[in-house]
């Protein structure tokens, strides 16, 4: 069920102040229903604002659940990257050790290379 708030004022400034307070309380304009549509008659301003508290709480619940799921997925992704990084570093160290070993075992060649 929609909660409603009727706002009536005889000048634009007062009307705007009351609308702003209603917005801060979670009310919104209802542009779907002609009976609630904001109107003015000369210097008289009127609007019926609506509030759907259940929808707002449902959206907050869904957003919280989505944020928690994203957080869990990010933690898993970071762990996978960390494990992959450790494996990559170990492989690089092993490859570097093999290159150093080959250089140590290769006899030094004396003299210059001949020009071709």
Tell whether 114 is covered by a domain. no
pLDDT digits (tens, 9 = 90+) for 2-30: 789 999 999 999 999 999 999 999 999 98
SS3 category, 72? helix
Task: Give the global pTM.
Answer: 0.44
% of the chain at pLDDT higher than 90: 31
Total domains in the fold of the chain: 2
Q: Residue 60 is part of which domain span? A: 56-105
Low-confidence ranges of the chain (pLDDT < 50): none
- C-beta atoms surrounding 15 within 10 Å: 20
Q: Is 62 found in the same domain as 100?
A: yes
Q: Do 40 and 67 belong to one domain?
A: no
Q: How far apart are CA 38 and CA 35, in angstroms?
A: 9
């Amino acid at each position: 069920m929609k909660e409603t708030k009727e706002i009536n004022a005889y000048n634009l400034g007062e009307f705007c102040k009351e609308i702003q307070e209603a917005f801060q309380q979670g009310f919104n304009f209802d542009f779907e229903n002609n009976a609630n549509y904001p109107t003015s008659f000369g210097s008289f301003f009127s609007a019926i604002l609506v509030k759907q508290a259940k929808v707002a709480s449902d959206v907050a619940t869904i957003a919280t659940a989505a944020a928690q799921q994203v957080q869990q997925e990010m933690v898993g992704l970071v762990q996978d990257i960390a494990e992959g990084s450790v494996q990559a570093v170990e492989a690089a160290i092993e490859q570097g050790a093999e290159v150093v070993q080959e250089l140590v075992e290769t006899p030094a060649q004396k003299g210059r290379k001949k020009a071709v």
